[in-house]
Structure 1
Amino acid sequence: MLHLSKFLFTWKARTVAVITCLAISALAYGQTTAIPLQDLSSFQNPGKSWQIAGNVSADLAEENKLTQSKGDGVLVNMPTKKNKGQDLFTTFEHGNVDLELDFMMAKGSNSGIYLQGRYEVQLLDGWGSTNRTAGSLGGIYERWDESRPEGQKGFQGYAPRQNVGRAPGLWQHLKISFQAPQFDASGKKTANAKILRLELNGVTIQENVELFGPTRGSISNDEKPTGPIRLQGDHGAVAFRNMKVTHYSKAQPELKNLTYKIYQGRYERQPVYDSIPPEAEGPQGTSNILTSNLKTGTKQYLVRYNGTLEVKEPGEYTFNLFARGGSGSIRVNNQDVVPFKTWEGKGTVTLPAGEFPFELLYSKYMDWEKPVLALRVSGPGVREFLISEKELVPDVDADPIIVSAQERPVLRSFMDLPGQHRVTHAVSVGSANQLHYTYDLDHGALVQLWRGDFLDATPMWHERGDGSSKALGSIKQFGKPTLTLAALATEQSAWVTDTTGSNFIPKGYSLNQNAEPTFRYRVHGTTVQDAFRIIESGRGLQRELNIQSSATGLYARVIDGEKIEDAGKGMYLVDDKAYYVRLDDLAGAKPIIRTVNGRQELIVPVRSKLVYTLLF
């Protein structure tokens, strides 16, 4: 007789947030809905400091000020001495929710987002700071108790894992997955609220954080199943756009009446069951939970589960199947939802409310791997959840090998970029100020710039390794590496995409006493020294190119992007306010913004020297 093994495999915590975005005009549970920003009708009794604008910008030299232009789509708060501002509340309330938006901070500004009006996620201009507290950008603010001793009144606040905030005047992206507190029929709280996941600029900075009560400044110290989203308005200038919410309030589907059959042997393809008898079979007990934790007596086998899937909310359901060491498939309502696929598979099916036949196959034929079966399900009003054995999770990741930047390391490795491009001679340079960059020795090009932690070298050093490392923070990548310097017949000539005909010869690099590199190379018959320096407490990366005996028609491409805006005084904003470029010293040359193949480029005729700074 088969039975559940007492041995449970461990699953390292790994969360994958899957959000399906559907644009609709009315608020609907389980669908991602934009909060309209054509006017202020989505908010209760908005104060005079709140306005709708078409665009907004900040001055890096001016405290707590945003400049706005006419139009709609951007929600702006501009408190003043005369009008100190007030908090803004949505007209709708929420329970379990995902909130996604862009925001922009003015210099020195402070704001916050309160889930249910009670639990604050901090918004703050912390540009140039390396401190991490509950009051930092992306922190979960402290609770407060005046009866506690001095120095202990604030408690249960949570600092962000990394500092990945950007400069004032740049758009930043925030995603919050929130689980509301739960209550029984009598109103007694049975489970605390949680921040399941908080991403800032593409980086997870909070995960599975339990909120034991409202944070300081809450609308009330009591807790409720629902409440409004509240935007702090009395502290500083801030702007929002692209605000979206997804509500999760519907009942999860359930598996019932599960049975299994086990077939011994190696099944890399789905078998015909009529021709082979099972080695063993049985009910799954009363838990109705899928598991791979069965004593099979062999390392190669196939488990066939059959049962009933009870669906309480009609709509489209997504199934994510993890079948470690083999393949798996899923059929629901006699439809193939996830095909028989190695290791991982995903599929969707539209179902009415009701009960439907369910079948799952797990073929474990890689005898060197541990068996792990995991199935996650999401649907209309249902946040993705684990429907399989909760103690069994994929132990597939190695303990990470993290490289710290405290000593300003310079690390050589491969670096993989989007578009399946590998930089084989990448040099990554770390800074204690938490701004880092990667340089390509093969092209004399800046590859990427990022803020936060330095490098994950696990792919390079774990077991056999593949020689690559990964940037850990919030990254700005600059596309496929291309020569910074090129000889052009005219200022409108197409930029050279590779080193052919340039006589490019890398000459390595040297380090100064602060371990800051200067790269050297020859190109178009001239010698170049290419120096990088982290400036102003990590607020930017300055690049200085010194050129000996400049060739005729030599230009430098400072940057290219979808859009380059001239912000005046040698400042430019790139790609919808993603970062700044500041031209510091052009040796008398004049910059040129040109459009080539639908993209814009900022190029400069090169004389003896070129100095510019990326502010990020």
Structure 2
Amino acid sequence: MLSRVVTAGCLALRVGLGPVLAQSPAAQMTTLPLNDLSAFRSVSGKNWQVASDVTADATKKNALTAKKGTGVLVNLPNDRNKTNLQTTLEHGDIDLELDYMMAKESNSGIYLQGRYEIQLLDSWGVKGARIGDNGSIYQRWDESRPEGQKGYEGHAARQNASKAPGLWQHLRIWFQAPRFDGAGKKIENARVIRIELNGVTIHENVDLTGPTRGPLADNEVARGPLLIQGDHGPVAFRNIRYTAYDQPRPELTNLTYAVFPGQFTKEPEFGQTPPEAQGPITGLNTGGIRNTNNFLVRYTGTLDVKEAGEYTFSLNGAGGFTSLKINSKPVVAWGSLGRQSVAKVTLPAGQLPFELIYSKVASRASTALGLSIQGAGLREFFLGDKSLEGGGFSDRGPILVDAPANTILRSFMDVPNENGQGRRTRVTHAISVGSPEQLHYTYDLDNGALVQVWRGQFLDATPMWNSRGDGSSRPTGMVQRFGVPRMMLGKLASAQASWAKDTVNSGFRPKGYSLDESKRPTFMYSVLGTEVQDVIRILDNGQGVRRELTVAKPANDLYAFLADGKSIEALPNGTYLVDGKSYYIQLTETGGAKPVVRSAGGRQELIIPVRGNKLSYSILF
């Protein structure tokens, strides 16, 4: 895939050819019950419990407090109680997702099959990511190796996508178990297909040659439990869900091919014209076909279906027509030119005749054929040319904008609505500000609103600059969004009065921005009869942003809208946990004004009267 990277002041090309990971449609997931500890093997230590909620003190090491109830799994280890925890579930291939919370400087880990550790660590503020950091695949260990070389084959996360201690983080794992032959000999390594941390892909297609350090056992198995490390530090989990893939894959055997020259736009009758080439073939691919256009290739063989059931087949032939028959019955009819065809069929177990036809007629397309198969309990797997894995091949990859220095880019920006449903809201006058600290934000000039902050890479400008484009860009790191933009400042008759939905009758007028010596912007606007300067700066270690508003002659009924979310919890020292522990707001300068947490439309809002000329607060995430 070709990707272009734009850096400040120059255009650079980043080229990388490789398949895109195929993603199965969302399968039905099973929730691991957390009403008690019955989903786990007998627990010998007292460090594990269930709770209704947890809170971490972001200023104190290993401080995690549990609230009585159910739904949250909590580890509170001490010198006497620090056992690991194993599920009664034993898994092979699995998709796993969960929320977890780290205490400050805490350390834990999840072992897939009890053998391959995904590290959980308070890595907030760490630049880059090392093998021991949050989301990394921990290293293997061999005591017989020389000092300094005992650890090997660890895989650091691509980037540090961690949140602050005391915030809920979301982890998604796609895992493929090792494969063994009939004699029990390993014939294929375990593999991490993909891991996402807080919405950011941090691993793809990682081979695991053996257990990492501290496993349940040193051997490898087809099935094993999830193991959660309990001897390092406090950690909490909730919403643990999984899809186990236990159904064996159908196998394509005795495969042969036959190539016929000519342009076939309709399915032919075979037997009248001899093929120009034919013979056995080891896999479903087009690599041996000499012609690049105007040919038809017919594959025949046997599909060995191990388990009867309903299967879904997705078939794609670049620049041509395709058809598929299984057990001598049509599954995918002769389809539209170059279109992917999807069909469901119920198959019996056994050795079933297989026929696939691909007729290439469009010279502009590369020769490529792809077939994917999935079913209940069977993760989608791919057969064919790698260029079609993931649904297609494009020679126009993402156009990425880096920020090696403070960088400003104007574009449209699409943001989700509060409930995540329906069409997104398009911010038409968005300014995204990137920093070399790898923490960035988007500002809405139409409302004087902070739209989002994120940690990691800067922007994907493909929608804006590829072909005619639609004018939009999107963040490429771990994003904390703040919902549909609204005015930062408003006049209220009382602290419970509704906040204005738009700028009508507010006299809002944007006045652009000025740059300091480091090319960092200060935004300026007038609203409600006053002049405003809005300064947003990156905090040390990229832990968040500090926002300072300077307001000329504020009216007595002027308020600032700081946040809204499903919940807002007040903590000591002017700090608030926002939107179900998604991020922190920390008030630093209020002129003596007291903030108000109020309910509105089934959500909660944090507002504060504007007293004096300055209001400042930090957003930590």
TM-score by length of 1: 0.85
CA offset digits 1:238-274 (Å, max 9, x no partner) = 011122232223221345778889897797xxx7x69
1:239 counterpart residue number: 236
Are 2:605 and 1:601 equivalent residues in the alignment?
yes
Are 2:55 and 1:57 equivalent residues in the alignment?
yes
The match for 2:148 among 148, 151, 168 is: 151
Give the 3 Å change call, closer, same or farther, for CA 97–266 of structure 1 in structure 2.
same
2:393 counterpart residue number: 395
**Conserved 8 A contact 1:313-1:380:** no
The letter of the residue matching 1:370 is S
Are 2:375 and 1:379 equivalent residues in the alignment?
yes
**Conserved 8 A contact 1:259-1:282:** no
The letter of the residue matching 2:590 is L
The match for 1:16 among 15, 22, 32 is: 22
The match for 2:451 among 443, 447, 451 is: 447
1:614 counterpart residue number: 619
CA offset digits 1:175-234 (Å, max 9, x no partner) = 222222233333332222221211111111011111222212223333233322111111
Supply the distance in 2 between the matched residues of 1:206 and 1:605 (Cα, whole angstroms). 45
Helix, strand or coil: the match of 1:162? coil
Helix, strand or coil: the match of 1:43? coil
**Conserved 8 A contact 1:56-1:68:** yes
1:245-324 map, 5 Å: 245-255=242-252, 285-287=279-281, 290-291=284-285, 310-322=304-316, 324=318
The match for 2:365 among 347, 365, 369 is: 369
1:499 counterpart residue number: 503
Supply the distance in 2 between the matched residues of 1:524 and 1:186 (Cα, whole angstroms). 79
Give the 3 Å change call, closer, same or farther, for CA 298–223 of structure 1 in structure 2.
closer
CA offset digits 1:338-357 (Å, max 9, x no partner) = 98597445554555545778
Instruction: Point out the more displaced range, 254-263 or 152-161.
Output: 254-263
Supply the distance in 2 between the matched residues of 1:214 and 1:207 (Cα, whole angstroms). 18
**Conserved 8 A contact 1:264-1:298:** no
2:525 counterpart residue number: 521
Give the 3 Å change call, closer, same or farther, for CA 602–301 of structure 1 in structure 2.
farther
Give the 3 Å change call, closer, same or farther, for CA 597–344 of structure 1 in structure 2.
farther
Give the 3 Å change call, closer, same or farther, for CA 315–515 of structure 1 in structure 2.
farther
Instruction: Point out the more displaced range, 391-400 or 512-521.
Output: 391-400
1:427-446 map, 5 Å: 427-446=431-450
Instruction: Point out the more displaced range, 383-392 or 68-77.
Output: 383-392
Give the 3 Å change call, closer, same or farther, for CA 551–374 of structure 1 in structure 2.
farther
Give the gaps of 5 or more residues in structure 1.
1-9, 23-31
Helix, strand or coil: the match of 1:319? strand
Give the 3 Å change call, closer, same or farther, for CA 365–188 of structure 1 in structure 2.
closer
Supply the distance in 2 between the matched residues of 1:538 and 1:71 (Cα, whole angstroms). 35
Helix, strand or coil: the match of 2:233? coil
2:8 counterpart residue number: none
Give the gaps of 5 or more residues in structure 2.
1-15, 417-422
Give the 3 Å change call, closer, same or farther, for CA 320–593 of structure 1 in structure 2.
farther
The match for 1:479 among 476, 483, 486 is: 483
1:141 counterpart residue number: 138
CA offset digits 1:556-577 (Å, max 9, x no partner) = 2211222222334322222221
Supply the distance in 1 between the matched residues of 2:224 and 2:67 (Cα, whole angstroms). 32
Supply the distance in 1 between the matched residues of 2:274 and 2:236 (Cα, whole angstroms). 62
Instruction: Point out the more displaced range, 517-526 or 385-394.
Output: 385-394
Cα drift, residue 540 of structure 1: 1.6
**Conserved 8 A contact 2:331-2:343:** no
2:101 counterpart residue number: 104
The letter of the residue matching 1:609 is K
CA offset digits 1:28-82 (Å, max 9, x no partner) = xxxx32222111122223121111111111111111021111111111110124x
The letter of the residue matching 2:55 is S
**Conserved 8 A contact 2:598-2:605:** yes
The letter of the residue matching 1:119 is Y
CA offset digits 1:428-452 (Å, max 9, x no partner) = 2223333221112222111111122
1:19-38 map, 5 Å: 20-22=26-28, 32-38=29-35
1:591 counterpart residue number: 595
**Conserved 8 A contact 2:115-2:216:** yes
Are 2:165 and 1:168 equivalent residues in the alignment?
yes
Helix, strand or coil: the match of 2:414? strand
Supply the distance in 1 between the matched residues of 2:495 and 2:320 (Cα, whole angstroms). 57
Cα drift, residue 173 of structure 1: 1.1
Instruction: Point out the more displaced range, 175-184 or 13-22.
Output: 13-22
The match for 2:558 among 551, 554, 557 is: 554
Cα drift, residue 290 of structure 1: 5.0
The match for 1:91 among 88, 91, 97 is: 88
1:71-82 map, 5 Å: 71-81=69-79
Give the 3 Å change call, closer, same or farther, for CA 85–324 of structure 1 in structure 2.
same
Cα drift, residue 467 of structure 1: 3.8
CA offset digits 1:110-168 (Å, max 9, x no partner) = 01111222221111001111141110101111122223222222211111001001011
Instruction: Point out the more displaced range, 100-109 or 139-148.
Output: 139-148
1:167-206 map, 5 Å: 167-206=164-203
The match for 1:575 among 567, 576, 579 is: 579
Root-mean-square deviation (Å):
3.5
Helix, strand or coil: the match of 2:384? coil
Aligned-pair identity in percent equals 51
1:545 counterpart residue number: 549
Supply the distance in 1 between the matched residues of 2:309 and 2:235 (Cα, whole angstroms). 38
1:132 counterpart residue number: 129
Supply the distance in 1 between the matched residues of 2:403 and 2:111 (Cα, whole angstroms). 34
Cα drift, residue 317 of structure 1: 2.9
1:227 counterpart residue number: 224
The letter of the residue matching 1:434 is Q
**Conserved 8 A contact 1:338-1:346:** no
The match for 1:424 among 405, 425, 428 is: 428
Instruction: Point out the more displaced range, 106-115 or 352-361.
Output: 352-361
Number of residue equivalences: 593
Cα drift, residue 106 of structure 1: 0.5
**Conserved 8 A contact 2:387-2:393:** no
Supply the distance in 2 between the matched residues of 1:426 and 1:280 (Cα, whole angstroms). 63
Supply the distance in 1 between the matched residues of 2:22 and 2:31 (Cα, whole angstroms). 22
Supply the distance in 1 between the matched residues of 2:281 and 2:148 (Cα, whole angstroms). 48
Supply the distance in 2 between the matched residues of 1:395 and 1:213 (Cα, whole angstroms). 33
**Conserved 8 A contact 2:19-2:386:** no
CA offset digits 1:478-523 (Å, max 9, x no partner) = 2332222233444444333333333322211122334332111112
TM-score by length of 2: 0.84
Cα drift, residue 320 of structure 1: 3.8
The letter of the residue matching 2:307 is E
**Conserved 8 A contact 1:122-1:139:** yes
1:305-344 map, 5 Å: 310-322=304-316, 324-325=318-319, 343-344=339-340
Give the 3 Å change call, closer, same or farther, for CA 110–297 of structure 1 in structure 2.
closer
The letter of the residue matching 1:450 is W
Helix, strand or coil: the match of 2:133? coil
The letter of the residue matching 2:22 is V
